[in-house]
Chains A and B, each alone.
Chain A
Amino acid sequence: DQQVKQNSPSLSVQEGRISILNCDYTNSMFDYFLWYKKYPAEGPTFLISISSIKDKNEDGRFTVFLNKSAKHLSLHIVPSQPGDSAVYFCAASAGSNFGNEKLTFGTGTRLTIIP
């Protein structure tokens, strides 16, 4: 049972445009959501997170939007840069510990930025 879903395995975006990565979840107990970025041969690195009490969190070029009623979140990257090419994982946790407990991951979306 895949509780966190990233339905797009890949996405290509022109440099300078906006990249939008989507994530859906089914477990209503999830209260903290994270996005990780992974380059080949490296471990995932934390990118941005959002608590369920918010609907938006912004950090530089990265913004995460959360729609609790739809159980949907999205990561916006604008403007997209070649260095953003990587696999992006959505993750969720329950228990109100800021994602520091067990994480449930999506399958990832491979983002390719076209120069």
Chain B
Amino acid sequence: GAVVSQHPSRVICKSGTSVKIECRSLDFQATTMFWYRQFPKQSLMLMATSNEGSKATYEQGVEKDKFLINHASLTLSTLTVTSAHPEDSSFYICSARGGAARAFFGQGTRLTVV
């Protein structure tokens, strides 16, 4: 299958700082990327959908000013958690698809805010 690389796999940051997570499609052009979040013992919850070159569409209850998504190229999308707080500690994972094909997932990022 296609390869989606997410970086970093783990990050620890201080409360109040910002953290950027990258999601890259390595062998295809990702016209659409999805960002999910998973809290312990809960399911993967979609946060936002981004199409290359346009603004992301956020799911209800997700603060767009806190979770900044940039999808400026066909191979890279970034999620920036701004002014992170301990309650933002979670597992963040992206998926990417090219055109109408099925989406492939990255490895995920474990964010811990201390």
Contact = CB atoms under 8 A, between A and B. Distances in A.
Contact of B100 (A2, A43, A100): A100
A36 B95 CA distance: 13
Given A100-B97, A100-B100, A43 B105 contact: yes
B54 interface: no
A95 to B, nearest CB: 12
Interface of A is mostly: loop
A33 interface: no
A103 to B, nearest CB: 7
A43 B103 contact: no
Interface in B23-76: 34, 36, 41-46, 49
Interface residues of A, number: 22
A63 interface: no
B48 to A, nearest CB: 10
Given A43-B6, A99-B102, A100-B100, A107 B42 contact: yes
A41 B107 contact: yes
A100 B105 contact: no
Nearest to A99: B102
Contact of B93 (A9, A43, A46, A104): A43
Given A41-B9, A43-B105, A106 B46 contact: no
Given A102-B46, A106-B43, A43 B107 contact: yes
Given A100-B97, A100-B100, A102-B49, A44 B105 contact: yes
Contacts of A98: 100, 102
B108 A43 contact: yes
Interface in A1-19: 2, 4, 9
Interface of A: 2, 4, 9, 36, 41-46, 89, 97-100, 102-108
13 contacts: A9-B41, A41-B107, A43-B4, A43-B107, A44-B44, A46-B1, A46-B102, A46-B104, A89-B43, A100-B100, A104-B46, A105-B36, A107-B42
Interface of B: 1, 4, 6, 9, 34, 36, 41-46, 49, 93, 95, 97, 100-108
